[in-house]
Structure 1
Amino acid sequence: MSDRTSARAGQAPPVSGPDRLRNVVLIGCSGVGKTTLAESLALAAGMIGRAGQVTEGTTVSDFEPIETKQQHSVHLAVLPLPWNGAKINLLDTPGHPDFAAELRAGLHVADAAVFVVSATDPVTEPTRLLWHECAEAGIPRAIAVAKLDVARAGFEDILTACHDAFGLGPDTLRPVYAPVLRDGVPCGSVDLLTGRTYGEATESDAAAPSVAAARESLIEAVSGQDDTLLERFLSGEPIDAAMLEEGIRREVHDCALHPALAVTDAGLGAAELLDLVVTSFPDPTHRRGPASGDPDSPLAAQVVRIASDPYVGRISLVRVFAGTLRPDMHVHVSGPGRSTATTDTESDERITTLTSPFGKQQRPVREALAGDLVCVPRLSGARIGDTLGDGEHDALESWPVPEPLLPVPIEPHSKADDDKLTQALARLCAEDPAVRLEQNPDTHQLVLWCTGEAHADAVLDQLRSRYAVHVDTVPYQVALQETFGSASSGHGRLVKQSGGHGQYAICDLQVEPLPTGSGVEFCEHVVGGAVPRHFIPSVEKGVRAQLSKGVATGHPLVDVRITLVDGKAHSVDSSDAAFQTAAAMALKDAAEHASIRLLEPVAAVSVLVPDEYQGAVLSDLSGRRGRVLGSELGDEGMTRLRAEVPEIELARYPIELRALSRGTAEFARTHLRHELVPAAVADRVSGNGRPG
């Protein structure tokens, strides 16, 4: 058993300086065991009891109702863990691709990453892509192999699979703890540098030939990067553990070595991983970028995520990159679209209290040093990604948020829900940057744009459970348009007499189709003053009002030239309203004598897909009436396809593309133009723009 001890159970220790902080993010796909590992680490650190409960009695991870319901993490969870005089801020991220925004936030604020891979399915394609993304960002990484107790593959076999999948060079992926097996099941491990044993491992296990060979191989790999160590190794001189730990720390910081170890659901590997994090992972002062990690420098902090508490209200999770954050401080909030001037008092906030998150609980803290993570309640003016500082410095760079591309139209279930919906949606969008709210001016639908079905379920669940707002989902509509397929003429006659002033107006219109995208032109060629000049604007007003309503299917009418050619007026009974009505009647009459064509919106689509799925994606795009314009090489093994696809065919494309490519492809879309709907599919798409 490790002799490295935690602080008093349930209490994170005070941090003496940034060098005693570690910010580590857990990365892995759903089902690999990240949350189980997080709870094992919390148990080993003395922060929870055996039943997976916080010392005071609440669950430590996945405590939101939607997480229990969906059986996977939805939000970024922060677990401050004391270990060996240090504080480890463990960031447990969702593995489901729908919640990539939470993962991106975790990556942004972490200083190192632990990739959790399952021995039953070592490396999925999304995990491989995330590994390379971390490599490009220079984030130190380790590998924790989970479920080794239920897989037939051996530890070395899994590491070989990871080595090949991640494209690693020789000696860059090395076990630092050798798992000890009893009847093929891991029961303990041996520290290859110190010989320290964990779990049920014994001194004889530490002296086993296989462990000795693994230790010599690790020492050789570490020594090869240091002249002093290499000289000692080649000469056969003893190398003490402190020198080797320093060598591994240096190699991990430089991303030249990725340590690996085994973990199980029963808790094996938890103490070993905590030791590894404290001894080998970088502290915040090693972070790349402009924020120095100096607690005495001007304040530079950033809002990572926002949550709501029924009693406290809004709670902002903040990472302090430089300086020290204290209660009663006044901070300036800056970010995209905000002024950085210190005179902008609307962007000033007062910090009331600071708390440390753990599960559902918030524990008061006196201050947050550079590098630490802390919660700030009632920070009403700040948004996710905003910077808290003194107003003299530029805002910190934010992180990329996946574009929500799945439309979910909603309607309030009742009048009471309608009254609360606007405020609830505003709060929800503030908490989740991956949600985009759209009030479509053409279809008049209220649309929540989400990243996928699981994300949509989570958003709707939060509306119900957190804000007591019930909504109904309705079919998605795209903004179709109408146009004339042939020239036509129309006659509008309004003659009514019912005592007093009557209504009298007659209009004759000619309608001609124009090329797609031309818009609407209104002309007049009235001879002899048949329609008095002061009523011609009324005719145009009536025409344009009817254009917005359409003449056949209820969609706006576009790409036509409408000419007023004749009409009649009465000296007493003609009016502005009468000519508006007559003009609308004439336009509808013209439509009855012409062919009306539908126009549909077309999007420019860019799909980044691994080469092995390129054929399937191309075939699918063709089935969606897409026109593939070309392709270009992306990163290694990836191709970017460019196509034009009718938007009505893209309503569920995020879900279907993910299934088609096993979650490895991504796409972007932008509205391009409207085009004529082919006659063969006009009936299918005419129903208010709903996908058939």
Structure 2
Amino acid sequence: MNIAKYRNIGIIAHIDAGKTTLTERILFYTGLSHKIGEVHEGAATMDWMEQEQERGITITSAATTCFWKLDDHDYRINIIDTPGHVDFTIEVERSLRVLDGAIGVFCAVGGVEPQSETVWRQANKYKVPRIAFVNKMDRPGANFYNVLKSIKEKLKIKAIPIQIPYYKNDEFIGIIDLIKEKLILWNNENYGSEYTYHNIPETELNTFLTYKNNMLESLAETSEELMEEFLETLTLSETKINNAIRTCTIKNEILVVLCGTAFKNKGVQLLLDAIIKYLPSPEDIINEKGFTLDKVTNLEAESFIALAFKITSDPFVGTLTYIRVYTGCLNIGDVIYNSTKEQKERISRLLLMHANTREEVKSIKPGDIVAVVGLKDTSTGDTLCALNKKVVLEKILFPESVISIAIEPYTKTDQEKMILGLRKLANEDPSLKISTDPESSQTIISGMGELHLEIIVDRLKREYGVSTKTGAPRVKYRETITKSIEHEGKYIKQSGGRGQYGHVVLKVEPMNPGDGFIFENKIVGGSIPKEFIPAVKKGILEKIQHGVLAGYPMVDIKVILLNGSFHEVDSSEMAFKNAASRAFKEATIKAHLILLEPIMLINVTTPNDYLGEIIGDLNKKRGIIQDVMDIISGKDIKAKVPLSEMFGYSTIIRSISQGRASYSMELDSYSPVPEVNLNTILEKKNMKTDETA
């Protein structure tokens, strides 16, 4: 199939907007599945993990391929269904990195919800063209026009509806197509597989004409040629409308909005048509870091370049590496180059995935999204390329983990099995971190939230047969300084035989949030020989990683090596490492060490009745209310709250609102811990403030 007939798309949305239900209908109408799998019955094809089926949520991104015919041409659609819960945002991040387009799904009742905004920002980061589908139009309280307003206001995009809903006796039964100027009705008796075109009822003509004219005006504004034609004729042809929509969608200048109800089988076929008409093929991508696609005339003839975006463990075939192919072809048995790791890899098998089932293929080409068997050194975000075309693509950016728990097996004999399982899970999920507490020697796992870690513990039991017990959640604090200080450190040891001598003069300076760590060498005149400079940096880095105040990693610090001295015989790498470590520790203590805590951006959606009590509770948690907005279902509260105050909030908000309010949170920033809370944190770490004063 010609690559122009490929569409690589993702489905992104807030939790419960109906992403997976929509995907199930797409699989049904394209003939890939012959029975509709429902999420609420635990039978959705794309939610294949046991935890997904039990909880009715998507946890891991699932890939599949289907085919759709439009205007007598066959098209191939590679789909990735992504999670809506913020704890699994890494799945959305890595999927968007390799996709050419996306469908933003919005609930017709809830509109633009908190996680909708998060995934929209992620898609903006990777400049992914999108179309919107307002789902659940059959629900009580559904309001297409309110959602349209919400999209424009919250997502700051030029949203243009190309359909409007049609109701009869307050029941959603069809769609008015603004481009074809027809009413479309679906046959309810065959799962909506058949639909028919009708004239627009007179009662709907005014609304139709208003939105048709708005659509034409909005599209005419995108080019002088269209504007001239529109001003002369007051209309545009169907072909010109579709071409303008496609051009502007690919440039991310507009967002066309469609509507329907996936669960009631209305509107999905028209969405499939829109995917083909408006979202880009792999040929339409302009720039991919490392090479420029618009200069390539034949993608298949180019050298092989792909990005590994996901790793999973399969009990039958071992490690599966999901890759997106940008240029060139790949065959079973080929040797390729991992330019990120600078390692050669051999291809054992190539698999086309349909959720968790596999279809073996002998070769792949540009635009394909497949799983590869046989890669030993490849991780998420690595570039794979031909041996003669060594390029490195832009890496996938992973969010920082903010919460950790201690974990241990019920039986000591399972310790090794637990560590092995955790390592495999961390290889699959870059937002999962494993470490060892230096004081207690406990194994610590860190992740994006309580649900994320809960799922990890559950997977350890189900997939690796290890039952574990866990400690209370811990916050991942950071340490930093607030003042600039110059300080020297010496390490001198004489105990017979060769001694040890290292002497350094350092300056430590605070930096802006997010700047990390910078080491600058300003030694002139050889007061410290060049071969000892890496040892100085190593001594500082060891302290940076383990902290000075309370054992937490240090951030946003610049260290300048100003001066020092050495001994011809007694100086060594170890001596300079120890001298630098000592100097850095003493300097940071003088530079006013502070503890930083993660501040979460909280979104609470609640009926009006519980607004006061929820705000009062957030205030008690040291929360700062940012905004309270009117939404269809009540109020949307935005607040910034320290993560340490949010443990167990699911239970609290359920109790306050009788189960009617919901919330989501994501990391916003790090902020200094107030003095009143600092002592409590240090005491839990078995430390005292006066030790660092």
Tell me the TM-score range normalised by the shorter chain. Answer: 0.5 to 0.7
Q: Which amino acid aligns with 2:63?
A: V
Q: For 1:373, give the aligned amino acid.
A: I
Verify the 8 A CA contact 1:452 1:655 in the aligned structure 2.
Answer: no
- The alignment status of 1:440 with 2:437, answered yes or no, reads yes
**Structure 1 counterpart of 2:347:** 351
Whole-angstrom distance in 2 between the partners of 1:687 and 1:216: 69
Contact 1:312 1:378 in 2 (8 A): no
Offset of residue 479 of structure 1 = 12
Aligned partner of 2:664 in structure 1 is 663
- Residues 684 and 382 of structure 1, relative CA distance in 2, 3 Å threshold: closer
Q: Check if 1:313 corresponds to 2:331.
A: no
Matches within 5 A, 1:136-285: 137-168=126-157, 172-195=158-181, 198-200=184-186, 202-205=197-200, 208-209=204-205, 210-236=207-233, 239-264=236-261, 265-285=263-283
1:333 aligns with one of 330, 338, 360: 338
Report whether the alignment pairs 1:38 with 2:23: yes
- Please give the secondary structure, in 2, of the residue aligned with 1:663: strand
How far off its partner does 1:435 sit?
Answer: 0.5
- The 1:654–1:318 alpha-carbon spacing in structure 2 relative to 1, beyond 3 Å, is farther
Return the offset for 1:393.
Answer: 2.2
C-alpha distance in 2, partners of 1:685/1:622? 25
Quote the Cα distance in structure 1 between the aligned partners of 2:448 and 2:112: 23
Contact 1:119 1:151 in 2 (8 A): no
Shift of 1:658: 13
1:650–1:441 distance in 2 versus 1, CA, 3 Å: farther
Aligned partners of 1:317 and 1:688: how far apart in 2? Answer: 49
Question: C-alpha offsets along residues 621-649 of structure 1, whole Å, 9 cap, x if unaligned?
Answer: 599xxxxxxxxxxxxx99999xxxxxxx9
Q: CA deviation at 1:282?
A: 1.1
Q: Do 1:195 and 1:206's aligned partners in 2 also have CA atoms closer than 8 Å?
A: no
**Aligned partner of residue 379 in structure 2, secondary structure:** coil
Runs of 4+ in 1 over 4 A off after TM superposition: 475-480, 517-524, 608-623, 637-641, 649-662, 667-672, 675-689
2:447 aligned with 1:450: yes
> 3-state SS of the aligned residue for 2:34?
coil
In the TM superposition, what is the alpha-carbon distance from 1:521 to its structure 2 partner?
Answer: 10
Aligned length, in residue pairs: 535
> What is the CA-CA distance between 1:679 and the residue it aligns to?
7.9
SS at structure 2 position matched to 1:459: helix
CA distances 1:321-375 after superposition (whole Å, capped 9, x unpaired): 222222221111232xx23xxxxxxx22211222211122111234322222111
RMSD of aligned Cα (Å): 4.4
- The residue aligned with 2:595 is 603
More displaced stretch, 370-379 vs 86-95: 370-379
What is residue 369 of structure 2 aligned with on the other side? 373
Superposed CA deviations along residues 130-170 of structure 1, whole A, max 9, x for unmatched, are: 334434543222221112211324322321222122233xx
Amino acid at match of 1:60: T
Write the distance in 2 (CA, Å) between the matches of 1:651 and 1:378. Answer: 43
Structure 1 gaps of 5+ residues are: 1-15, 340-346, 481-516, 525-531, 535-554, 557-600, 624-636, 642-648
Seen in structure 2, the aligned counterparts of structure 1 residues 412 and 652 have a Cα distance that, compared at 3 Å, is farther
Per the alignment, residue 10 of structure 1 pairs with none
The answer to whether the 8 A contact 2:383-2:393 is kept is: yes
Q: 2:109 aligns with which of 90, 111, 120?
A: 120
Q: Name the SS of the counterpart of 1:205 in structure 2.
A: coil
C-alpha distance in 2 between matches for 1:611 and 1:161: 16
Measured after TM superposition, the shift of residue 78 of structure 1 is 1.4
Residues 1:297 and 2:282 aligned together: no
- Higher-Rg structure is 1
CA contact (8 A) 1:451 1:654 kept: no
**Structure 1 residues 578-617: aligned runs within 5 Å:** 603-605=595-597, 607=599, 609=601
1:354·1:374 contact (CA, 8 Å) conserved in 2? yes
Distance change (3 Å), C-alpha of 1:616 and 1:18:
farther
Cα distance change on mapping 1:659 and 1:106 into 2, 3 Å: farther
Unaligned runs of 5+ in 2: 187-195, 478-486, 498-549, 552-592, 605-613, 625-636, 654-661
**Is the contact between residue 657 and residue 665 of structure 1 (CA under 8 Å) also seen in structure 2?**
no
The question of 1:131 aligning with 2:123 is answered no
What displacement does 1:196 show?
5.7
From 59, 65, 74, give the equivalent of 2:59.
74
Q: Is the 8 A contact 1:42 1:81 kept in 2?
A: yes
8 Å Cα contact 1:114-1:141 kept in structure 2: yes
Q: Report the CA distance between 1:251 and its aligned residue.
A: 1.5
SS at match of 1:448: strand
SS in structure 2 at match of 1:256: coil
CA contact (8 A) 1:302 1:387 kept: yes
**CA–CA separation in structure 1 for the residues paired with 2:16 and 2:435:** 33
Cα distance in 2 between the residues matched to 1:40 and 1:260: 19
Given that residues 602 and 663 in structure 2 are in contact (C-alpha distance below 8 angstroms), is that contact kept between their aligned partners in structure 1?
Answer: no
Structure 1 residue 360 and structure 2 residue 356: aligned? yes
Task: For 1:298 and 1:615, locate their aligned partners in 2 and report how far apart those are by CA, in whole Å.
Answer: 61
1:567-646, aligned counterparts within 5 Å?
603-605=595-597, 607=599, 609=601, 620=621
| 1:267 Cα deviation from its structure 2 partner | 1.9
Instruction: Decide whether the 8 Å contact of 1:25 with 1:106 is kept in 2.
Output: yes
Find the aligned partners of 1:23 and 1:175 in 2 and give their Cα distance: 23
> What is the rounded CA distance, in whole Å, between the counterparts of 1:659 and 1:235 in structure 2?
62
Distance change >3 Å, CA 107–CA 614, structure 1 → 2: farther
- Structure 2 residue identity aligned to 1:23: N
Change in Cα spacing, 1:288 to 1:521, as seen in structure 2 (3 Å) is: same
* Separation in structure 2 between the aligned mates of residue 522 and residue 275 of structure 1, nearest angstrom: 76
Equivalent in 403, 426, 430 of residue 427 of structure 2: 430
User: Separation in 2 of the partners of 1:677 and 1:230?
Assistant: 62
Paired position in structure 1 for 2:504: none
Indicate whether 1:383 and 2:379 are aligned.
yes
* Structure 1 letter corresponding to 2:15: S
Aligned to 1:5: none
Identity of aligned residues (%): 23
Q: Is the contact between residue 26 and residue 34 of structure 1 (CA under 8 Å) also seen in structure 2?
A: yes
Please report the TM-score for the alignment, with normalisation by the length of structure 1: 0.68
Partner in structure 1 of residue 75 of structure 2: 86
What TM-score does the superposition give when structure 2 sets the normalisation length?
0.68
Q: Distance in 2 between matches of 1:130 and 1:299?
A: 30
Structure 2 letter corresponding to 1:604? L
Aligned-partner SS, 1:234? helix
Counterparts of 1:244 and 1:206 in 2: how far apart (Å)? Answer: 23
Question: How far apart in 2 are the matches of 1:655 and 1:103?
Answer: 25
One-letter code of the match for 2:226? L
Q: Residues 682 and 455 of structure 1: is their aligned pair in 2 closer, same or farther, counting only changes over 3 Å?
A: closer
SS of residue matched to 1:295: helix
